Structure 1
Amino acid sequence: MSFVEYGDTIQDGDTAIVFLGHESMFPVKVQHGTVTQTKYGVIRHSTDLIGKKYGSKVTCSKGGWVFILHPTPELWTMNLPHRTQILYSTDISIITMMLELKPGSIVCESGTGSGSLSHALIRTVAPTGHLYTVEFHQQRAEKAREEFREHRVEHLVTVTNQDVCKNGFGVSDIADAVFLDIPSPWEAIGHAKSALKAEGGRICSFSPCIEQVQRTCLAMEEYGFTEINTLEILLRVYNVLWDT
């Protein structure tokens, strides 16, 4: 199992998604001899999961059933343990498109946070690209490294624990794109420019407050960035019902 390569069967050590319904699912690390409790009863990893195909319908001990899904960045975003506030698919999709990311791209990111965007970036640039992600908080950085190892994408990402505003990304002149999701992104624009390739690249900053946006846009202008745009992405969900 890998978040960037599909595996047909569930293996010991995989991270799988237990799907009870569209509003109820959770991740589980598959381990021989382990059991998982659900409202439908027990799932025994050794007999119910290992060796079965992803997408299988598994009957629990109380007679109810669940589906076992292969992990994807989208499912991980919906089910990951929150260490910080995260980006969701609505924003992630526009970010990856506007940064013009593709297989082979080199991307710098700060901060790593809970890894929601990181997993999507890794999947987008795989199999030959790379993500350099910087996290200020030591425990969050260590947890991100652990998750990337468990999800078997560690060869596609480098996690650095440092202050990007003071120390930058640890790389120069190699990035196709830079993404910032930090409290004061304007303080990291100079480092972002240094990380980008000499011929240029794209930068995206995500901020919840307009004052942050204003200061960041001014910093971008000072460092020679052009075609600066500010976007707000709103998602509207419709419930389609039968007319009875």
Structure 2
Amino acid sequence: MLPADPTQRLTLQRRIQEGDLVIAYERHDHMKAIKVTKGSILQNRFGVFNHSHWVGKPFGSKVFSNKNGFIYLLAPTPELWTLVLSHRTQILYIADISFVVMYLEIVPGCLVLESGTGSGSLTTSLARAIAPSGRVCTFDFHEQRAASAREDFEMTGVSSLVTVGVRDIQGEGFPDEFSGKADAVFLDLPQPWLAIPSAGKMLKPDGVICSFSPCIEQVQRSCETLKLKFTDIRTFEILLRTYEVKELSTEVGEVDEGISFRSPPRKKRQHSTATGKDSVATTVMAKPCSEARGHTGYLTFARLKCLA
């Protein structure tokens, strides 16, 4: 029996069915979202993979091609979906998303308002956070983007938790039906200060707002508007630094000038008295990735003032 929470189906060890969305994983930086269709194939550098062979296998399975190459079939969790979705706009990535969910204090049962929807990267994570009884109401002024987002939410299994509306929140504000009912509001707009007064009317007492802006000038103007009805105003910039880990084989006395990092050797070097030569040692090394993602934007949070 499937769980009441539709987002839990993405991570349970259930069997892949025809029509499911799977993430074909080659390596951590090379993945692809695929809809399973009997009779269809996936062809890549590892060979040809038949979709029909995937049906009935549990998510996480390792499947082989006609050339004995392999990939993994993973469930489309919000984390993986963020890495493979179609970019209709600039998106939020995992570091920013996790911070937003925590600081907006989003828990199951919350009502969250979002503008704009964009590519839906954050929306998918918000849906999982508020499941099974909450709701995410997201708005985008661009009708085609909103329609594409609805299709994506249907594919990823969160459509029952998300309502997508077409509306210019900067010009019209949020619909009055949400007045005083929202637990949290998220804004990703070019002029967020225009939507902040409406967001304040939507929030419950002590509710939290977050605005994402790529430029510090947007942050400054937003903060000036937030001061009127909000308190505890804070801005953060999330910088994620990743490391690559490699195994290196060296001989005693050999020095690689290109390596600027050190770690204890996994195997000790040994000297052979028979040959008079040093044996090869394997060492695990770690260093920062040369192409680390830098600045994405600023996250400004504020809490609605409670009137005595």
TM-score by shorter chain over 0.5: yes
- 2:126 aligned with 1:121: yes
The gaps in structure 2 that reach 5 residues or longer are 248-264, 266-282, 284-308
Identity over aligned pairs, percent: 51
Q: How does 1:47-86 map to 2 (within 5 A)?
A: 48-86=53-91
Amino acid at match of 1:44: N
Instruction: Look up the match of 1:181.
Output: 188
The 1-side partners of 2:43 and 2:179 are apart by 48
Amino acid at match of 1:13: G
In structure 1, the residue corresponding to 2:235 is in which secondary structure?
coil
RMSD: 1.5
Equivalent of 2:100, from 82, 95, 104?
A: 95
Amino acid at match of 1:95: V
Over alpha carbons, which structure has the higher Rg? Answer: 2
The 2-side partners of 1:80 and 1:154 are apart by 16
CA contact (8 A) 2:184 2:208 kept: yes
Question: Which structure is higher in helix share?
Answer: 1
The gaps in structure 1 that reach 5 residues or longer are none
Instruction: Deviation per CA, 1:124-179: give whole Å up to 9, x if none.
Output: 11111110100111110000011112222111011001101122232222110000
Instruction: Look up the match of 2:243.
Output: 238
TM-score, normalised to structure 2, is 0.75
The 1-side partners of 2:147 and 2:54 are apart by 29
In structure 2, the residue corresponding to 1:84 is in which secondary structure?
coil
The 1-side partners of 2:189 and 2:44 are apart by 37
| CA deviation after TM superposition for structure 1 residue 241, in Å | 4.6
Q: Which structure 1 residue ranges, 4+ long, deviate > 6 Å from structure 2?
A: none
Amino acid at match of 2:200: K
CA contact (8 A) 1:14 1:30 kept: yes
Q: How does 1:203-242 map to 2 (within 5 A)?
A: 203-222=209-228, 224-241=229-246
CA contact (8 A) 1:133 1:169 kept: no
Instruction: Deviation per CA, 1:54-112: give whole Å up to 9, x if none.
Output: 11110012220111011100000111111111000111111111000111111001111
Aligned length: 241
| CA deviation after TM superposition for structure 1 residue 24, in Å | 1.2
* Distance of aligned partners of 1:104 and 1:165 in 2 relative to their CA distance in 1, 3 Å threshold: same
